[in-house]
Amino acid sequence: MIRQYMERFHRIRKDWTVSEKSWEPSALELRETQFTLGNGAFGSRGIYEELPQDSLPGTFMAGFYDRVGSQVAELVNIPNPFRLSFTLRGEQLGIGKMDHSSHRRDLDLKHGILFRHTQYRDTKKRRYDYRSVRFLSMADRHLGVMHADLTATDAAAEIDVEGALDMSVWNSGTVTEGRKKHWRIREVSNEGGFEYVRIEGLENNYSVGFATALLIRQGTRKWVAKDSHFKLRLRKGQTVSVTKIFVIHGTQDRDPDKLLVRCVDHLRDVIKAGAQQVARQHIRTWDKLWSTATITIKGAPHDQKALRFNTYHLLACAPAPGSRGSIGAKTLSGDGYRGHIFWDSDIFLMPFFTHTYQNAAVDMLLYRYDRLNPAREIAKKFGYRGAMYPWESAGAGTEETPAWAKGLDGSVIEIFTHEQEHHITADIAYAVNRYYTMTGDDNFMLDCGFEMLFETARFWASRVEYNRRTKFYSISNVIGPDEFHEKVSDNAYTNMLAKWNLLNAHRMAAHMKKDYPREFTSLCRRINLRPSEIDEWKQIAPRIAMKVRDDGVIEQFDGYFKLRRVRLAGRDAYGLPKLPKNFQWSGVQKTQLLKQADVLMLIFLLSDVFNTKTKKVNYQFYEPRTTHKSSLSAGMHTIPAAELGEKEAAYNFFRAAAFLDLENVMNNTHEGIHAASLGNVWMATIYGFAGLTHVRDELHIKPRLPKAWSQLSFSYRWKETDLKFVIEADKVKLTVRSNRKTLPGRIKVYGKYQEFPVNKAVAFSKSGKQ
């Protein structure tokens, strides 16, 4: 039986399980987000199948957006496939509806399975034992399964079961809009006992087909419920098992019959193979994902679980292989930020995928490559050259930032990020380049990467403005990563990344010309890139303005130092600064307060450009001014804090990020998992505590584990080489596995270059080789 089979794998290993041990109505939406299941193609919130009041069912199909009725395109909340409702003697079985004596749900992070066990008591005190298990297959990304067992413990009972798709779903209302439904039902039919439903997006005729079967087993009797509905009588102590299997396919094909055949044939094949086989493949696929993604910590079980929770959600939202898709700011776990894709995916999520699950990283970059033309259009619209990527992106690659949104104090505010947050274009170039230097994937570069680097450089060359007085190039009217300050000039992050983008494109043009002359000529011809333009990149870059104080503090933007200093008063439970009492958000732009890392983000990304002294003075200056009102902030602070020996602060920042969604630190987890923070937790562990840095072609390792961690182990892929680290307080053990004869670059441990024979573990202590 599928449930027992799944339970065998689960064995309630505490450190791989996130649990809900009682029914807490106030945590309903929070748990729905936390218990989201996903396989990259779909995500489905961890709703209760009987849909208690205030449930927020959310099932999202990566890449399916619609804009009808809203300011901008939204990730569509499609019908909820996990609904299942039982009625016994007229009383509905359900949490909050019927009394219960015990209840728990367990999310198995290892295999992406949600277990549930609730013991109910009806109004006559008769008991019912209810267990369910569900998963979205990681092996077959169109498939989902839910299995429920109901036992009438005390007395015989008439039961009525209903398992049709739940159509009563909507996209959340936002500040200026009400709730929206982004699809209409185009077809409902019954095909050989399977329920078939086809919906269609309102805007673009995108069709999604659902084929569902409800398989019933009572004693030795087995059948398929007609119309997903049946009634039966349970004897005292008897169990009825219901297995709901559904397949979902999306298409833009105009021939709806094809979709029907695809869904129904697929479902038939799955049923023939059997749910157990499906479960086995699902488990195997998760095991494979974890084999490279696992991070093991000894000594701190809570941190260990938090890390697994974060990694689980990273794997659950990783683009399906070959999808050419990316990841929204709230993964596939909620409709916060309308499912839009920000720099979060390029800067915060790419490193995890690049070093553990490279295919997903490629898909994320292809998502951007496929939208190079809309980015060219945006540049043109603003009067620039090259490609200017939108701040918020959805399906089409056009700008999707809403004009209005809710501010930190709940008021409606006008949004300017789409007009001013230009650093996204350099962030994407940075992501392309980082992927290349970490993987050496020449094919990707020849097919897509070089073109992206050149088109983004072109944009910056047209975006900078020459100041005759200072003889420097300025970039005015921007918003940097710190979104508290709008319409500023010469934001250090934007300017430095623009400069980097130009210099790097110049370097890459030389590299391509030398190593791939034919392809270089053909690309230049295709995008009409002239040698004089490439020369111009090199001339502009060194003259882009950046202000640095005598003590080395980089001015976040022109005039920042003149703003009012507000002292943050005290720290919260995670060690994050608190705002002074009665602080008014409305005047925040006139203060030096930061929403999130800005200069420190720059220093992290271009780490080898800055020396330790510069890192230190800037950390000391900006950290006390940062409010961490963005989920992108706390986790990334771990890295400079750890590097500079601020051990306690580093650990606090790590915990604030690692528990961000587990403990609802920002009070908005109900809107969805904070994707960027997931990536931050991974980076904080690897680049903060394990102390890995890439310096040109070299890898340097200088661990600084938190006191509570006695050991940290993980895998790290670098240019077709798998590195397996086991790190303790004063010791690094490294095993290099590769088919290459030589290492991709030199490796320095504790400040000394070391030799690494392939396939052999070598250990080093701070004092030398062991």
Amino acid at position 6, single letter: M
- Provide CB contacts within 8 A for 578, sequence distance 6+: 568, 569, 570, 571, 572
Report CA torsion sign: 666, 668, 674, 678. Answer: positive
Please tell me the chain's helix, strand, coil percentages from 3-state DSSP, rounded to the nearest 5. Answer: 35, 25, 35
Buried b (16+ CB within 10 A) or exposed e, 721-752: bebebbbbeeebbbbbebeeeebbbebbbbee
In the complex, the smallest distance separating the C-beta of residue 428 from ligand IFM, rounded to whole angstroms, is 13
Minimum separation from the CB atom of position 284 to ligand IFM (A): 33
In the complex with ligand IFM, which residue's Cβ is closer, 640 or 679?
A: 679
Choice between 329 and 723, CB closer to ligand IFM: 329
CB of 70 or CB of 630, closer to ligand IFM: 630
Q: How far is the CB of 447 from ligand IFM (least distance, A)?
A: 28
Q: Are 763 and 701 in contact (CB under 8 A)?
A: no
Answer for the pair 335, 171: CB distance below 8 angstroms, yes or no.
yes
DSSP string for 668-713? -GGG---HHHHHHHHHIIIIIIS-EEEETTEEEE-----TT-SEEE
CB of 628 to ligand IFM, least distance (A): 11
- How many C-beta atoms surround the C-beta of residue 755 within 10 A? 9
Q: Using the 8-state DSSP alphabet, how is residue 577 labeled?
A: B
CB of 415: closest distance to ligand IFM in angstroms?
10
Is the distance from CB of 745 to CB of 762 less than 8 angstroms? no
State the nearest-atom distance from the C-beta of 269 to ligand IFM, in Å: 39
Q: How far is the CB of 309 from ligand IFM (least distance, A)?
A: 19
Closer residue to ligand IFM (CB): 250 or 319: 319
* Cα–Cα dist 182/176, whole Å: 17
Catalytic annotation on 483? yes
Distance of CA 226 to CAs 229, 278, 297, 571, 635, Å?
6, 23, 50, 59, 51
Query: From CA 193, how far away is CA 129, in angstroms rounded?
Result: 28
Residue 244 or 625: the one with the smaller Cβ distance to ligand IFM is: 625
Q: Whose structure tokens read 């892929």?
A: 717
Q: Which residue has the tokens 């413990």?
A: 153
Spatial distance between the Cα atoms of 56 and 330, rounded to a whole number of angstroms: 15
**Largest CA-CA distance found in the chain, in angstroms, rounded:** 91
Measured from the CB atom, is 365 or 636 closer to ligand IFM?
A: 636
Nearest to 586 by CA among 408, 403, 401, 415: 408
Minimum CB–partner distance for residue 344 and ligand IFM (Å): 5
Q: In the bound complex, what is the minimum distance in angstroms from residue 526's beta carbon to ligand IFM? A: 32
Nearest CB to ligand IFM, comparing residues 34 and 393:
393
Please report, as a single letter, which amino acid is at residue 654: F
Decide whether 6 or 415 has the Cβ nearer to ligand IFM.
Answer: 415
- Cα–Cα distance, 668 to 333 (Å, whole number): 12
Q: Transcribe 168-206 into DSSP letters.
A: ---BPPBTTB--B--EEEEEEEEETTEEEEEEEETTT--
Q: Which two tokens stand for residue 521?
A: 């000529």
Q: Which is nearer to ligand IFM, 304 or 677 (CB)?
A: 677
Sequence-separated contacts (24+) of 302-305 with Cβ below 8 Å: 303/654, 303/655, 303/658, 303/706, 303/708, 303/709, 304/15, 305/14, 305/15, 305/16, 305/17, 305/18
C-beta closer to ligand IFM: residue 91 or 671: 671
Residues that bind ligand IFM (CB under 6 A): 329, 337, 342-344, 481, 483, 630, 632, 676
The residue annotated as part of the active site, out of 49, 74, 392, 483, is 483
Residue that is written with structure tokens 């109004």 in the block = 123
- Which is closer to ligand IFM, CB of 308 or CB of 674? 674
Here the tokens at position 707 are: 């006191």
Sign of CA dihedral 42, 48, 52, 54: negative
Catalytic positions are 483
